[in-house]
Amino acid sequence: MRAYAHPSIVSMYASYLVGDELWVLMEYMECGALTDIISHAKLTEEQIATICLPVLTALAYLHDHGVIHRDVKSDSVLLSAKGIVKLSDFGFCAKVSAESPRRRSLVGTPYWMAPEVIARIPYFTAADVWSFGVLIIEMVEGEPNLFDDPPSVAMERIKKSFTPHLRFPQMVSILASKK
């Protein structure tokens, strides 16, 4: 990932093979993962929008360079003490090209995975857009849809016909004002 330098992507400085383990030296984001924040506090719509912009610009940059992230979720979004938001966690990334424009691998985290990923139907960068939508739901409601289901049950439901949605749309001002 060192080749992909972007202001909204965590910088990777070096990597080392220590025994049979790969150690990665990365930029330090002192506030940690977004997961830690949303598990303790409700985000405002302004905060959610502020987080969305750099995540989307990072995804657009990766997609423009033929990279699918494949694990977009709150654990993959890091924050600094200055409020800087960056995408991280590139262990499941895949490169796509004109010769190989789609992937079939079943990788990612169940509750955020797109149906085509779970079904192993050839997929491309749009799978990240699905996961980003689930991330927004997670920021609004504190957890993704189906989080109370075991991962295998959630995956089966997503694969068959589940559509991510806000369980409490009244929590979002634009939706609440339409009633």
Which residues are catalytically annotated? 71
What CA–CA distance (Å, rounded) separates 4 from 16?
Answer: 19
Name 136's Cβ contacts closer than 8 Å, sequence gap at least 6. 48, 52
What CA–CA distance (Å, rounded) separates 136 from 154?
Answer: 18
Closest by CA position to 146, among listed 176, 171, 112, 178: 112
Report the length, in residues, of the chain.
179
To the nearest 10 degrees (0 to 180), the angle between helices 126-141 and 45-64 is 170
Closest by CA position to 27, among listed 67, 104, 80, 66: 80
The secondary structure of residue 43, as a DSSP letter, is P
DSSP 89-113: --TT-EE--SSS--B----S-GGG-
